[in-house]
Structure 1
């Protein structure tokens, strides 16, 4: 973020304001950690912040401090629209294109107040008044830590803020394993531990809090995995019928795509999940090394993300989507 924008934001935040903080649709740990971390920080500056999620977030994130105050647009469209129209600043975190908010996009496009984008994905759009965009970071939560530093307010970071930000850093770094995890990332985590966060309990709440049904769904997903060794690819499919069979709730398929990459020799992994209520097949892509799944998702499946982690969607049937994927795959160098 340049000095001019930092100065302008410092002046803008110098007096109490109504501020909306918005994650992307189907928010993950980084999206909820960054929005709630910023929420608690802005409270300390005497603002009136509100976190508004486009749709429900996973239950395994419901323990985050103040998660019970989050408004959900899809549950209360009229009420939330009115609240958005009353805000004086809007922060958009962990995405860089307003279509990532789903139906909320049409409401956000009509707002005339300053918008602030803080995000680490590629190819940001130009909707924001102030933009802090940098693909070098492994998480938006690490960028929020820096943003607080830009405002010379790091002394306000307490255990609550640190807990939220640590959650996003932990989840988006794959437990500090992904390539964009730096020495600085670890130093920030150490600082948070010194502030008193429970770095033993947080991973348990995030990763060891499964229902029996979720484990059964994972078993089915692994049974459905197809491995194509000559193309260094593995993919999984889950139908709506299978989701229903195991009483699927939001968050149950989180992380399943990564199992493909645990197979020796596999560089590219994908998961295709049928959601008949939305008439869509949701897709996640993961890779190792230099294979760019962000570009793959943008070129073929209406998506995007990072070089090694991206998402997409298809409006075809599950079967036709997979046929298309296999056809593209056969012509792709991995």
Structure 2
């Protein structure tokens, strides 16, 4: 992060401020961990922070300290808009383009006059932030929040509560420390967080071993639907709205299912296609191993983006048409 940006933010934070903190739509562990870590840090420094999520976060993240204070924009748009308009400083975490918050919130953010601070690790950031900490080399925004607090010479403020939020985001976005963005520095930070009292044996249980029976049945259906294009080192699966409904789907139930496609020997590229009839889209998650860039693939073909080995996208076509398009594209790839 630029020294002049750090100094400017230090000046902004030298007196109590009303501050809004925003994660992306469909917030995951890194989005919620980073925003809540920053929330507790700012609260500790006598500011008035508010986390405003575009929509609901999954139940398996509801144990995070401070999650009960999070405002949901789509449920309370009028009040959330008022908070945003009154904010003196706005942090956007784990995303780098307003459209990642949804159409209505995107329009609201575009009208605000307060300075924005971006902390994010995705590629190709939009030019909206006054102060930017953007670096694709990091495996998680939570690791960047740890660094951000250190840049402000406030590392001593990181207590067990803040550490728990940061640990959660690093753990989830690193694929339990398996993804390429995990470095020696990542593990050194994790060691410091554990020394601060983070319950590193309990958090994975809360995140990964807390499924409903219906969620496991839904996983089974997704695995039954999986198709392997062995010649092209690709696999994919899909879930229709009817299938989601039949297994009492709740937000978060499909989290992580896409990764099963990479557990097949010889597979380098995988995807999951999930129908959302309410939004009239097919939501897509892409994953890869090695040098195949799913970020570019998502940008080129499915109005998406993300990281080199993990990205998302969407399709306005039917499920059948979307899957046919995907298979046709894959047959033309060199993987």
TM value normalised by structure 1: 1.00
Cross-structure match for 2:312: 311
Q: How does 1:57-206 map to 2 (within 5 A)?
A: 57-102=57-102, 103-206=104-207
- CA-CA distance at 1:234 after TM superposition: 0.4
- CA-CA distance at 1:125 after TM superposition: 0.8
Cross-structure match for 1:230: 231
Q: How does 1:152-301 map to 2 (within 5 A)?
A: 152-301=153-302
1:23-42 Cα offsets, whole Å, 9 max, x none, are: 00000000000000000000
1:273-329 Cα offsets, whole Å, 9 max, x none, are: 000011010000000000000000000000000000000001111111111111111
Cross-structure match for 1:326: 327
- Compare 142-151 and 76-85 and name the one that shifted more: 76-85
Distance, in Å, in 2 between the alignment partners of 1:326 and 1:309 is 19
Structure 2: any 5+ residue segments left out of the alignment?
none
**2:49 match: secondary structure:** strand
Distance, in Å, in 1 between the alignment partners of 2:83 and 2:154 is 28
- CA-CA distance at 1:70 after TM superposition: 0.2
1:182-208 Cα offsets, whole Å, 9 max, x none, are: 111001000010000100000000000
Distance, in Å, in 2 between the alignment partners of 1:46 and 1:54 is 25
| Matched positions, count | 334
Distance, in Å, in 2 between the alignment partners of 1:137 and 1:286 is 17
Distance, in Å, in 2 between the alignment partners of 1:278 and 1:59 is 21
* Aligned Cα root-mean-square deviation (Å): 0.5
Q: How does 1:19-34 map to 2 (within 5 A)?
A: 19-34=19-34
Distance, in Å, in 2 between the alignment partners of 1:297 and 1:79 is 35
Distance, in Å, in 1 between the alignment partners of 2:76 and 2:180 is 39
1:43 correspondence with 2:43: yes
- CA-CA distance at 1:242 after TM superposition: 0.1
Cross-structure match for 1:13: 13
- CA-CA distance at 1:83 after TM superposition: 1.3
TM value normalised by structure 2: 0.99
1:152-205 Cα offsets, whole Å, 9 max, x none, are: 000000000000000000000000111110111001000010000100000000
**2:74 match: secondary structure:** helix
Structure 1: any 5+ residue segments left out of the alignment?
none
Distance, in Å, in 2 between the alignment partners of 1:6 and 1:175 is 30
